[in-house]
Amino acid sequence: MKVAIMGAGLSGLACAITLEKNGISPTIYEKGSRVGDRFVNGEVLLDILNRPIDDCIADLSNRYGIYLKPTSTIQSMELFSKNEKAKIEGHLGFTNIRGRNQDSFESQLERQTKSTIHFNSEYTFEQLRTEYTHVVMATGDGAYASEHKNFKEDLSVSIKGATVEGTFDPNRVMAWIDYDVSPYGYCYLIPYSEKETNVSLAIPDLPENADVNISDLWDRFYSNIQSQLKQELPITDRFQITRYPMGICLSPRIGNTFYVGNCLGTMMPFMGFGQYPSILSGIYAAYDLCGIDNYEELMKPVRQSYENSLVLRRSLEKLSNEGLDRMIRSLQGYLGEKLFQTKSIDPVKLASYVLRPVLNMTKE
Ligand SMILES: Cc1cc2nc3c(=O)[nH]c(=O)nc-3n(C[C@H](O)[C@H](O)[C@H](O)COP(=O)(O)OP(=O)(O)OC[C@H]3O[C@@H](n4cnc5c(N)ncnc54)[C@H](O)[C@@H]3O)c2cc1C
């Protein structure tokens, strides 16, 4: 068996590590000149979005032998709508760095891989398919899956973000969901350290947002957070992503081609989270390649999570700022604590079951 992995990101590297543990040495082809060859940004692993798992980092190490060191634990999350605020406390998850940084998750995974990585790769899927018996598509988007007529695109998002300097609590993340600032989208602050943080704004590319200028929105958000945090926040780095497609493959595997990570559709439409399911998809594809388990079966819960998350996204698009105020108000206090801290409750699943009939969406 000769396995090629296209893409040295979270899912591709997790796949390689798992294959190696089971005696298969894949060859990895990476478009960039190094692992994490992209902008730096802060991301989170939130326990509440990965139920029934209540600690993704421990789960990856205990069950799969994949070791990741996050930047920090999240002990406090502050959620703001236009007029309301909810503060949730407890062990809520982890923050981590991505991209061109020696501590980024992809850099950490690279250090656990022995497989050869060919950088600056211009290999196409067709070339890899000719030379290898199996190809794992881990390119971080649905472009190839779309070409293969295997991708259902549900939405796209545009994101503008920056690294800023200031004074921050590394254990506290903040999110704003105010449609005057980010119409149908959201903004967030994820610290890298006590001195640096990532601040980003994301909006879906809905027809309602056709005339919206993301740079104007960003300027307003940037000015708002400086007032709210009572600090000047000099920008040291910036990034912008335009029309990033979110969707899911119709088949996780076609013949001897496996689609993993965002190539498969592990980025969840509700708020764009996808790190943990991306890593899992790489591990599960490797299990199938090693004859340990069946990839399509293993991915069923992830596919279901995607569909549940899509219901929540569609519901958010129907809310006004008044509705968002009510939602945030209801998260303050007992309900918020219960939702975030009861390990047996999967709020995304629960909410999607309640909302699906309201939105006239059928269950997949
Ligand atoms: C701005 C932003 C913020 C996010 N925030 C969060 C968050 O807070 N929490 C969370 O859980 N998720 C978050 N996500 C989603 C998460 O980052 C992704 O779901 C995850 O990185 C997907 O992993 P992957 O392996 O599919 O892709 P990646 O990790 O992106 O890796 C893809 C790799 O493939 C390479 N590649 C691309 N094309 C080719 C080619 N043709 N040939 C060879 N190599 C190629 C790329 O260079 C890259 O190295 C965020 C995403 C974005 C964009």
- Give pLDDT tens digits for 241-285: 999 999 999 999 999 999 999 999 999 999 999 999 999 999 999
Average pLDDT over residues 155-163: 97
Q: Separation of 123 CA from ligand 1 center, angstroms?
A: 19
Say if residue 234 is preceded by a cis peptide, omega within 30 of 0: no
pLDDT at 349: 84
The residue contributing the CA closest to ligand 1 atom 20 is: 275
Tell me the three state secondary structure of residue 314.
helix
When computed from its CA atoms, the radius of gyration of the chain, rounded to whole angstroms, is 20
With a 6 A CB cut-off, is 31 part of the ligand 1 pocket? yes
CB-CB neighbours of 83 under 10 Å: 12
The single-letter code of the amino acid at 161 is G
Task: Give how far Cα 276 sits from Cα of 55, 60, 68, 317, Å.
Answer: 11, 9, 11, 25
Residue whose CB lies within 8 A of the most ligand 1 atoms, among 39, 43, 200, for a mutation test: 43
Q: Is the CB of 12 under 6 A from ligand 1?
A: yes
C-beta 8 within 6 A of ligand 1: yes
Q: Closest ligand 1 atom to the C-alpha of 200?
A: 1
Rounded CA separation 236/245 (Å): 27
Distance (Å, whole) CA 187 – CA 174: 8
**Beta carbon of 10 within 6 Å of any ligand 1 atom:** yes
Among 60, 68, 98, which is best to mutate for testing ligand 1, by the most ligand atoms less than 8 A from CB? 98
CATH T-level topology, domain 3-359: FAD/NAD(P)-binding domain (3.50.50)
d(CA 305, CA 299): 10
User: Which pLDDT does position 355 carry in this prediction?
Assistant: 78
pLDDT computed for residue 362 by the predictor: 56
Give the SS3 label for residue 87. strand
**Protein residue with its CA nearest to atom 15 in ligand 1:** 274
Cα(140) to centroid of ligand 1, in Å? 5
Residue nearest to atom 19 of ligand 1 (CA): 274
Q: Can you give 236-279 as a three-state secondary structure string?
A: EEEEEEEEEEEEEECCCEECCEEECHHHCCCCCCCCCCCHHHHH
Q: What predicted TM-score, i.e. pTM, was given to this entire model?
A: 0.96
Q: pLDDT tens for residues 7-45? A: 999 999 999 999 999 999 999 999 999 999 999 999 999
pLDDT for 358 beyond 70: no
Expressed in angstroms and rounded, the spacing between residue 291 Cα and the centre of ligand 1 is 27
Provide the pairing of β-strand 27-29 with 116-118: parallel
Q: Of ligand 1's atoms, which has the minimum distance to the CA of residue 261?
A: 26
d(CA 345, CA 148): 37
Quick check: 347 pLDDT over 90? no
Handedness of CA 71, 11, 345, 323 (dihedral sign): positive
Give the mutation target among 104, 139, 200 for probing the ligand 1 site: most ligand atoms within 8 A of CB: 139
Cβ–ligand 1 distance for 121 under 6 Å, the answer yes
Provide the 8-state DSSP code for 137: E
Residue 63 has pLDDT above 90, yes or no: yes
